[in-house]
Amino acid sequence: MDNFQIETAQNIAISQNVAHVTTRIGSYLIDALFIVGYYIIIAIIIGMLDIPMSMEYMSLFVLLGLPVFFYSLLFEVLMNGQTPGKYFNQIRVVKLDGSKPTFGSYLIRWLLRFVDFTLASGSVAVLTILLNGKGQRLGDIAAGTTVISEKKRITLKDTIASDVVDNYTPTYSQVTLLSDNDIHTITRVYRDAMKKRNHKVILKLYTKVIELTGITTEQKPAQFIDTVIKDYHYYARQ
């Protein structure tokens, strides 16, 4: 359950990191601490008002505590798929195609969290996430969303820029037509395809890069993509 494939509008398959279930539990606990802290503050404020224990006291406590009821919904809408806990752990709610969820998607997730987390003390959510393969609890399945990790996995292969030696001679000046986002996507897809030896994806990526840049080449697809990435980083350093 480390990653899953999403198809972009450009018909390029991208391997997306799924937030690990333990990370999601950690985020949930952090959010719980925020909620507990909020309730403590409310209790202190009401205590300072010296309101006697009565229906009025309980009504005020419930009223001030109402935002907690909508905690996850409010924060995910306002923070683009994150709560404070998710923000701390660098995870985010997205649609399965990688796009931003609609308010309706957030609402469905929020409504079904009572099933996911109330039944069997959250074990329903945990089991669904583990068995689903796309990091989805019941609310995510219904809303067409998942939770991804935005933490960058840095390896030696991620340091292509440093691999470009000082006397490197670029081959294709047309790579400057690509954006940083383009090269980031190309690099991710290329590395994933090379790791899995998926020649079809490399060929598809090769065709797309030629379409975007107008480059004419006699290099083989994998060699061409590798050169494009290095050339881009060379020009980016100038």
Higher pLDDT among residues 35 and 96, named by residue: 35
pLDDT at 105 exceeding the cut of 90: yes
Domain boundaries, the chain: 3-149, 156-236
pLDDT at 69 exceeding the cut of 60: yes
Query: Euclidean distance between the first and final Cα of the chain, in Å?
Result: 40
Residues in the chain: 238
Higher pLDDT among residues 70 and 119, named by residue: 70
pTM of the model: 0.62
Q: If you average pLDDT over residues 36-61, what whole number do you get?
A: 82
Is residue 89 within 8 Å of residue 26, measured between CB atoms?
yes
Which alpha helices (DSSP H) does 70-220 contain, by range? 71-78, 84-88, 103-118, 123-132, 138-143, 160-163, 180-196, 199-213
Instruction: Read off the tokens for 94.
Output: 């997205």
Q: If you average pLDDT over residues 80-85, what whole number do you get?
A: 94
pLDDT digits (tens, 9 = 90+) for 106-150: 999 999 988 888 776 788 888 898 888 788 999 999 999 999 887
Is residue 125 within 8 Å of residue 146, measured between CB atoms?
no
Is residue 145 within 8 Å of residue 92, measured between CB atoms?
no
Torsion of CA 87, 88, 89, 90, to 10 degrees: 40
The Cα 134–Cα 96 span in angstroms is 9
Instruction: Read off the tokens for 142.
Output: 């219904």
Q: To 5 degrees, how large is the angle CA 212–CA 208–CA 205?
A: 135
DSSP structural state of residue 79: T
